[in-house]
Amino acid sequence: TAMASDEPKAKKLKLSEDEKTDSNLLFGMGNPLLDICAVVDKDFLDKYSLKPNDQILAEDKHKALFDELVKKFKVEYHAGGATQNSIKIAQWMIQEPHKVGTFFGCIGKDKFGEILKQKAEEAHVDAHYYEQDQEPTGTCAACITGDNRSLVANLAAANCYKKEKHLDLEENWELVEKAKVYYIAGFFLTVSLESILKVAKHASEKNKLFCMNLSAPFICQFFKDNLMQVMPYIDVLFGNESEAAAFAKEQDFETEDIKEIAKKAQALPKVNTKRQRIVVFTQGKDETIMALSFLSGLVQEKPLDQCVRAAHYSANVIIRRAGCTFPEKPDFK
């Protein structure tokens, strides 16, 4: 392959037999959002200057968008947030035991917050939310046109996550210590860099697997300083083709070849030298660059080619459904 992956066996997560069924093996931290999904028209996108396929944070000019979406179009509500969704999918793929996945994030004390709690429980994810009443639970407008979807996130409460109010609490940090695999979307870099660094450093010191997703071009562009503070701790870096391109441009890689970008990202400085970084770039319907170490596969100690298949399978199932939802059980062998 284009990257250092000659010895796939070394890339498997080492878990002893008695640990394999532990709960809280996978830890995620991010922005818990309630997705508000609707099929819209081009006029709606134009009115709010939205690209058909993008992920952005809501600005003042988008404030009316949320109300208009609900009034004008037929909407569906789904529990969302990039990291929370990933933890849920990993839990769904693993099935048993329940609560393999832990999730931390901040919500409001409101109806939307209650829905997120209920949905996490239904997905058998061990969610521990920091609840505050200054801001309402965050929402994400998913504006669908054809095969495209434009995401506008109003973080609200999600932006209020505080390390010292939640992550540092003894009973919460114990859950972090229990984990063997960590996954945080780049979106959380806009919220609490210090929380990410605390978890990343723990993973690095204990030779556990720390994974991060570039998440969106704007993260690579406007939060690159935060991203690069975490990069030395990243064992598995995920991204798609547009994020890879934005990352390469910001890092002056001077190439647009996705395989070259993956190589260069793989070679960036790393604190824990016991693990070589794995870089995984997806390209929609086109081939995934590098071995894709999908979370459920990593938690269950599977070779990388099987991780790729697991990821492609779950993406294939979920892309056909509204929101991040799935059938009762996976049909994956």
Q: What is the DSSP string of 254-314?
A: ----HHHHHHHHHTS--S-TTS--EEEEEETTEEEES----HHHHHTT--HHHHHHHHHHH
- pLDDT confidence tier of residue 104, bands split at 50, 70 and 90: very high
Alpha-carbon distances, residue 17 vs 3, 128, 301, 326 (angstroms): 30, 27, 11, 29
What values do phi and psi take at 72, rounded to 5? -95, -30
Please give the DSSP secondary-structure letter assigned to residue 146: T
pLDDT > 70: what percent of the chain? 90
- pLDDT confidence tier of residue 305, bands split at 50, 70 and 90: confident
pLDDT at 219 over 80: yes
pLDDT at 54 over 70: yes
Rg (CA), the chain: 19
Q: How confident is the model over 89-110, as a mean pLDDT?
A: 96
**Sole residue written with tokens 């990933």:** 86
Q: Could you read off the pLDDT of 145-180 as tens digits, one per residue?
A: 998 999 999 999 999 999 999 999 999 999 999 999
Distance CA(180)–CA(182), nearest Å, equals 7
**Sole residue written with tokens 């790729």:** 308
Domains of the chain: 26-33+81-137+156-319 (3.40.1190.20)
- pLDDT confidence tier of residue 295, bands split at 50, 70 and 90: low
- Tallying the residues shown for the chain, one arrives at 333
Reported pTM? 0.87
pLDDT at position 48: 97
pLDDT at 255 over 90: yes
pLDDT at position 296: 53
pLDDT at 10 over 70: no
- pLDDT confidence tier of residue 298, bands split at 50, 70 and 90: low
The amino acid present at 140, given as its one-letter code, is C
- Ordered alpha helix ranges (H), 108-257: 111-122, 170-178, 193-205, 217-222, 224-230, 241-250
User: Judging by DSSP bridges, how do beta strands 278-283 and 286-289 pair with one another?
Assistant: antiparallel
Distance CA(147)–CA(89), nearest Å, equals 22
